[in-house]
Homo-oligomer: A and B are copies of this chain.
Amino acid sequence: MKALEERILSEGRILPGPVIKVSSFLNHQMDPDLIMEIGSEIGKRFADASVTKILTIESSGIAIALAVGASLHVPVVFAKKHRTSNVSGEVYQTIVHSYTHNVDYTVVVESEFINSNDNILLVDDFLANGKALEGLMELAHQAGAKVVGAGIAIEKGFQNGGSGLRERGLRIESMVIIDRMDENGIIFR
């Protein structure tokens, strides 16, 4: 997606990791026009997938997921992150390890919001090692729902999350895939 590539080139900052910091337009400060455009484009790519529900994870997935939901006119559910596993009520839950913060989160969705009739589209801002998507797939699995694919804003193609999940049969549409980034700049696929 051209508009997103351009924005990454003009405002993204490469930090050790390597991490690409896009907090000026994607996940701390957000450009709503760009995010609505990303949502439309992901919606278009999955227009044929009979999506009944969008599933994302708080916090930085919420805005893009809402934009996809506004494009497809289907409900958006965001899984909640807890530091503890002390979650009460009727929920689906799993553990997701965050490499960024080096901590395990319990990720939870109330069970009334996904069910076995759902065709779920997963949405997130980033795809790197794939742990967040795997957690969301596990929640969908617990509900007996079908996962029709994943719509991602920025995929770090040099990490193995995307290729591993595609090998397992997941349809992934990433608006931008970064194949390399270092002091010489950013190479998109």
Instruction: List residues of chain A with CB under 8 Å of any chain B CB.
Output: 23-25, 28-33, 35-36, 58-59, 62-63, 66-67, 69-70, 73-78, 80, 83, 109-110, 112-113
Contact A29 B59, beta carbon cutoff 8 Å? no
Contact for A23 among B62, B74, B110, CB less than 8 A: B110
Copies in the complex: 2
Closest 3 CB pairs of A and B: A32-B69, A32-B70, A58-B59
Hey, which chain B residues are within 8 Å of A63, CB to CB?
A: 62-63, 66, 76
Contact B66 A78, beta carbon cutoff 8 Å? no
Q: A62-B62, A63-B62, A63-B63 are in contact. Are A76 and B113 (CB under 8 A)?
A: no
Contact A73 B32, beta carbon cutoff 8 Å? yes
| 7 interchain pairs, CB-CB under 8 A | A23-B113, A29-B75, A29-B77, A30-B66, A58-B58, A59-B59, A62-B63
Contact A113 B62, beta carbon cutoff 8 Å? no
Which B residue's beta carbon lies closest to that of A110? B28
Hey, which chain B residues are within 8 Å of A109, CB to CB?
A: 28
Contact for A35 among B30, B35, B36, B66, CB less than 8 A: B66
